[in-house]
Amino acid sequence: MRGRGLGRCPLCGSPVQPGTTIFAADLGSGVVVLRDVPAYVCQLCGNAAVADGVAATLEGASAAARKRNSLVSVTGWYEVEPVDEEINRW
Ligand SMILES: [Zn+2]
């Protein structure tokens, strides 16, 4: 079945395709940006959804950026450690 596992866009119901998105979060003390985040991207409206494991790693990267107290943190996804290692390291 073509596209079955990937699901559909929660906003417009169109099929989604594997792609990348940009993640940005305002931490109050600074801003964290991650580029090239793997995501399921809607072909119609462009809405991007990330898998649970990706979302957990994004949260870990945000927490790490907050601890570093950097004003602006821009990181590529390929530079981010998986969330488990992130916990060990910090
Ligand atoms: Zn959509």
Q: pLDDT at position 7, please?
A: 87
Q: pLDDT at position 6, please?
A: 74
Using CA atoms, how far apart are residues 42 and 10, in angstroms rounded to an integer?
9
Q: Identify whether the C-beta of residue 63 lies closer than 8 Å to the C-beta of residue 81.
A: no
Q: Quick one: pLDDT band at residue 80, thresholds 50, 70, 90?
A: confident
> Which residues are placed with Cβ below 5 angstroms of ligand 1, an ion?
9, 11-12, 14, 42, 44-45, 47
Q: Quick one: pLDDT band at residue 5, thresholds 50, 70, 90?
A: low
Q: Specify the DSSP class assigned to residue 15.
A: B
Using CA atoms, how far apart are residues 87 and 90, in angstroms rounded to an integer?
5
How much distance in Å is there from the Cα of 90 to the middle of ligand 1? 37
How much distance in Å is there from the Cα of 31 to the middle of ligand 1? 27
29-57 tens-digit pLDDT? 899 999 999 999 999 999 999 988 999 99
Q: Quick one: pLDDT band at residue 1, thresholds 50, 70, 90?
A: very low
How much distance in Å is there from the Cα of 41 to the middle of ligand 1? 8
